[in-house]
Copies of this chain bind each other. A is one copy, B any other.
Amino acid sequence: MQRWKLTLEYDGGPYVGWQRQDNGQTVQQRLEEAAEKLCGCETLVQGAGRTDSGVHALAQVAHVDIAKDLRASQVRDALNFHLRPDPISILEAEPVPDDFHARFSAIGRVYLYRILNRRPPPALDSGKVWHNQRPLDAEAMHEAAQALIGNHDFTSFRSTECQADSPVKTMDRVRVRRAGEEIHVDVAARSFLHNQVRIIVGTLELVGRGKWTPHMVKKALDAKSRSAAGPTAPPGGLYLVSVKYPDEEE
């Protein structure tokens, strides 16, 4: 039995999310079906980030055990073959020790949120950005976001359905910058609460359009109540960019 670390890209649009559930197709389920075709046995795929319905990944990480003697390129290519025609692509397969766990071994996660900030709707990036027609001040959003850096109780910034034991997390980076017609929010932490990035973005948007002063984000954090923060930004703008493990260099 060999454990494989898989790095994968996917379009979250057609799925009800990463995690296997009863109400529709999930990325995890499609990967398990592909892995079962490859090894001819039951498999369990574990992912580093349980992305929601409609959320994309540039480099999600997962692991799976396969009871077959295969080269890394065979695992990658065979899984991609069995995943067709789904918009899920295995970028890399690497053999890892049995104690590697995609979720529990991870020590850092990076997300990107893309806002298309213009009046006309997206044509080529439909479902891949949050189309927001209000003129947004990226600098004010960035300034406001700095109050979130560090170790805090993020109760205001997690879904009321979040099942994490503790609302305390350490935010390493929240960077907001304009890139042409888009605004990019780049967020890094060891781990995140349910909907945390999307609530952060939905709250910073209130600052961007001048409804909130930057200082109000700090007050929302201090309130420790979901109703104190802004709305949850739509899923299509969110991308899981990378997952970091202890043995990797910066």
Residue among B88, B89, B123 making CB contact with A11, cutoff 8 Å = B123
Number of identical protomers: 2
Give A70-101 as 1s and 0s: 1 = Cβ < 8 Å from B's Cβ atoms.
Answer: 00010011001000100111110000000000
Report the minimum CB–CB distance from A73 to chain B (whole Å): 8
Interface members, chain A 119-133 (any B CB < 8 Å):
119-124, 126, 128
B124 engages A80 (CB within 8 Å)? no
- Is A56 among interface residues, defined by CB-CB distance under 8 A? yes
- Is A10 among interface residues, defined by CB-CB distance under 8 A? yes
- Is A32 among interface residues, defined by CB-CB distance under 8 A? no
Report the minimum CB–CB distance from A71 to chain B (whole Å): 13
Taken together as a complex, chains A and B put the C-alpha atoms of A58 and B128 apart, in Å, by 16
- Is A52 among interface residues, defined by CB-CB distance under 8 A? no
- Is A9 among interface residues, defined by CB-CB distance under 8 A? yes
Contact residues in B for A122 (Cβ distance below 8 Å): 9, 89
Taken together as a complex, chains A and B put the C-alpha atoms of A122 and B128 apart, in Å, by 15
B126 engages A11 (CB within 8 Å)? yes
A80 engages B11 (CB within 8 Å)? no
Taken together as a complex, chains A and B put the C-alpha atoms of A119 and B81 apart, in Å, by 12
Contact residues in B for A11 (Cβ distance below 8 Å): 123-124, 126
Max chain B Cβ within 10 angstroms of own Cβ: one of A56, A80, A119: A119
Contact residues in B for A88 (Cβ distance below 8 Å): 123
User: Given A11-B126, A87-B126, A126-B87, does the pair A121, B80 have CB atoms closer than 8 Å?
Assistant: yes
